[in-house]
Amino acid sequence: MIHDMSIKTTKLLLALFIFLLGSISPAAAQETKIKWFGHAAFSITTPNGKVLLIDPWLNNPSNPEAKDGKDPLSAIAKADYILLTHGHRDHVGDAVAIARKTGAALICNPELAGNLVKLADFPTKQAETDAIMGIGGEILIADGEVTIAMTPAVHSSSVFNPKAGPNEPERAYGGNPAGFVIIIKNGPTIYHSGDTAYFKDMETIGENYSIDVALLNIGGHFGMEPKMAARAAQAVRARLAIPHHFATFPGILQNAEGFAAELKKMKIDFYEMRPGETITYRGKQQIKGK
Ligand SMILES: [Zn+2]
């Protein structure tokens, strides 16, 4: 009986300790972290510690965590959601391996989700949740901490089919390409453009959402050239513009200088992240990495 009581007391103390641990450092608890892995791959860690990965091609040549034979997935201890803007290989990247490792739920259009399950062995249960969505829609995830809006993108979308026979197309349908607006409670609102061309209706995104930081593809050739990427920053009314989708491989732009110069003319804040770098927001205020 006494023994039983002491176990109960220990459990109670442990519960109290865990509770106190969770309630200390309220400032840190309000922080949102945005990490760039190179190319279009970002992670977002919310104030409540939920981890979102966007277009997670972690094995891209720019990622310092993928160099010298290192496995970039070893740095991914946790992921709750994987967001895919479209099906191209440089965006789907390591999504399947990450999903298997972490149990993360997929957020993308239904055709891409279906074909990733069928052709790339993406875990079925993680691709068939109510986080599968369409352009124009908004979903609430992470116990209500994050709202995801799927926005249009002018591009294409197909999924590589490793199972294709000699007379079958090796690119299967990937639904419509998209961008995302990610609204974080007690944190910034982030726009990820995917791989889009500039389109004038980006202004609607700027009218509907208050974009604190826009992650914009600037590499040209397959998507926006820097001048139009700057116009995109202006259209979505970004408080801060961060470039991505450049300097990863030959054929796309190798630096962000032109983009920075255009933004300067428009008086829009610019920050160039280094691959592997993390920037931190406290509430809507950027506190580190600038
Ligand atoms: Zn693409």
In the predicted structure, residue 2 carries a pLDDT above the cut 70: no
Task: Give the separation between CA 142 and CA 43, rounded to whole angstroms.
Answer: 15
pLDDT of residue 4: 58
Distance 177 CA to ligand 1 centre (A): 8
DSSP labels for 201-224?
Answer: THHHHHHHS--SEEEEE---SSS-
More confident site: 17 or 92: 92
Tokens describing residue 81: 């959601």
The mean predicted confidence, pLDDT, of the chain is 93
In the predicted structure, residue 26 carries a pLDDT above the cut 60: no
- Tens of pLDDT, residues 80-90: 999 999 999 99
Average pLDDT for 118-128: 97
> pLDDT grade, residue 130 (50/70/90)?
very high
Average pLDDT for 213-233: 97
- Tens of pLDDT, residues 90-100: 999 999 999 99
pLDDT of residue 28: 58
In the predicted structure, residue 172 carries a pLDDT above the cut 60: yes
Distance 18 CA to ligand 1 centre (A): 45
> pLDDT grade, residue 178 (50/70/90)?
very high
In the predicted structure, residue 250 carries a pLDDT above the cut 70: yes
Distance 66 CA to ligand 1 centre (A): 21
In the predicted structure, residue 244 carries a pLDDT above the cut 60: yes
More confident site: 199 or 26: 199
Distance 156 CA to ligand 1 centre (A): 7
Average pLDDT for 27-56: 94
Distance 218 CA to ligand 1 centre (A): 12
Give the residue among 110, 247, 230, 109 at the shortest CA–CA distance from 179: 109
DSSP labels for the chain?
Answer: -HHHHHHHHHHHHHHHHHHHHHHS-HHHHTEEEEEE-STT-EEEE-TT--EEEES--TTSTT-GGGSTT--GGGG----SEEE-S---HHHHTTHHHHHHHH-PEEES-HHHHHHHHHHH---HHHHSSTT---TT-EEEEGGGTEEEEEEE-SS--EEE-TT--TTS-SEEE----EEEEEEETTS-EEEE-TTPPP-TTHHHHHHHS--SEEEEE---SSS--HHHHHHHHHHTT-SEEEEES-SSSTTS-S-SHHHHHHHHHHT-EE--PPTT-EEEEETTEEEE--
Distances (CA, A) of 278 to 36, 43, 227, 273: 7, 9, 26, 8
pLDDT of residue 289: 77
Distance 55 CA to ligand 1 centre (A): 10
Distance 31 CA to ligand 1 centre (A): 31
Tokens describing residue 221: 């050739």
Percent of the chain with pLDDT over 70: 90
In the predicted structure, residue 20 carries a pLDDT above the cut 60: no
Average pLDDT for 221-248: 97
Average pLDDT for 197-213: 98
Distance 47 CA to ligand 1 centre (A): 30
Average pLDDT for 175-180: 98
pLDDT of residue 283: 95
In the predicted structure, residue 18 carries a pLDDT above the cut 90: no
Task: Give the separation between CA 224 and CA 215, rounded to whole angstroms.
Answer: 12
In the predicted structure, residue 29 carries a pLDDT above the cut 80: no
> pLDDT grade, residue 66 (50/70/90)?
very high
Give the residue among 212, 206, 193, 201 at the shortest CA–CA distance from 259: 193
pLDDT of residue 288: 81
